[in-house]
Amino acid sequence: MSKPYKLSALEGKIIAIDGPAGSGKSTTAKMVAARLGFTYLDTGAMYRVVTLFALENGVDPEDARALEAIASRITIEFRTEEDVNHVYLNGADVTEAIRTPEVTSAVSPVSAHAGVRKAMVARQRDLARKGGVVAEGRDTTSVVFPEADIKVYLEASLEERARRRLIDFSRQGIDSTLDEQMELLSKRDEYDSGRANSPLTKTGDSVLVDTTNLNIEEQVDKIIKLVQARFIKK
């Protein structure tokens, strides 16, 4: 991997990446952050942490008041250990636990609550207050960082996104099928795009990158070239 740029022209910048599940946001954002020497902020992981805590403590994903209290009370940390990003909940490493099918199924209704989103957005903005951040999620360009220096919207075909999700589950030893994942992703797309609070949307000033036929390195290169064109003058 190339060495980080860490150029003065990039100091304090925020790069926001949105898109539906399976479009490649997380891996791409991690690699872009590494290339630029930026901090990687996984906003979606924060909602997954709230969801995990709720499930482990018997809180209904529809209980807005209880979930808002959880979102305001728990401690969420991101740590990079041996070049791997880890997520911590109240001091415990939950990097793998927040990616289970159970959490994945419940995270959309949990994250739809206005109180939960308000608490998480405040935390996300605080984490990025000094800039030098690549943030990804489903409302980073529209709600969390509407003034981001660069906005990117990743998309891919439903079948390709389902294939990627199937590979991720296979690595975790979780059985599923392509049809099952396509159905689940389709429902999640509908839910995330149609929710009243911070729906998934492509803002008018976001650069669209279709990742259907791109590998991760190609996706990263496209965004790096966008950064270079915008901030690094020849």
pTM of the shown model:
0.83
Q: Which pLDDT band, with edges at 50, 70 and 90, does 231 fall under?
A: confident
Residue 5 covered by a domain: no
Residue 90 covered by a domain: yes
Find the CATH number of the domain harbouring 21.
Answer: 3.40.50.300
Average pLDDT over residues 115-136: 93
Residue-number span of the structural domain to which 212 is assigned = 12-228
Q: If DSSP states are collapsed to H, E and C, what string results for the chain?
A: CCCCCCCHHHCCCEEEEECCCCCCHHHHHHHHHHHHCCEEEEHHHHHHHHHHHHHHCCCCCCCHHHHHHHHHHCCEEEEEECCEEEEEECCEECCCHHHCHHHHHHHHHHHCCHHHHHHHHHHHHHHCCCCCEEEEECCHHHHHCCCCCEEEEEECCHHHHHHHHHHHHHHCCCCCCHHHHHHHHHHHHHHHHHCCCCCCCCCCCCEEEECCCCCHHHHHHHHHHHHHHHHCCC
Assess contact for 49 and 87: CB atoms under 8 A: yes
Residue 233 covered by a domain: no
For the chain, how many structural domains are there in total? 1
Give dist(CA 228, CA 150) in Å, integer. Answer: 11
- Strands of 39-42's sheet, edge to edge? 39-42, 133-137, 14-18, 150-155, 207-210
Residue 4 covered by a domain: no
Question: Which tokens go with 107?
Answer: 């995270």
Please write the tens of the pLDDT for every residue from 28-77.
Answer: 999 999 899 888 999 999 999 999 999 999 999 999 999 999 999 999 99
Q: Which pLDDT band, with edges at 50, 70 and 90, does 152 fall under?
A: very high
Residue 230 phi/psi, 5-degree rounding, is -85, -35
Residue 3 covered by a domain: no
Name the residue with higher pLDDT: 122 or 10.
122
Residue 128 covered by a domain: yes
pLDDT of residue 233: 63
Average pLDDT over residues 121-135: 93
Residue 1 covered by a domain: no
Give me the chain's average pLDDT, please: 90
Please write the tens of the pLDDT for every residue from 197-225.
Answer: 778 899 999 999 999 999 999 999 999 99
Residue 98 covered by a domain: yes
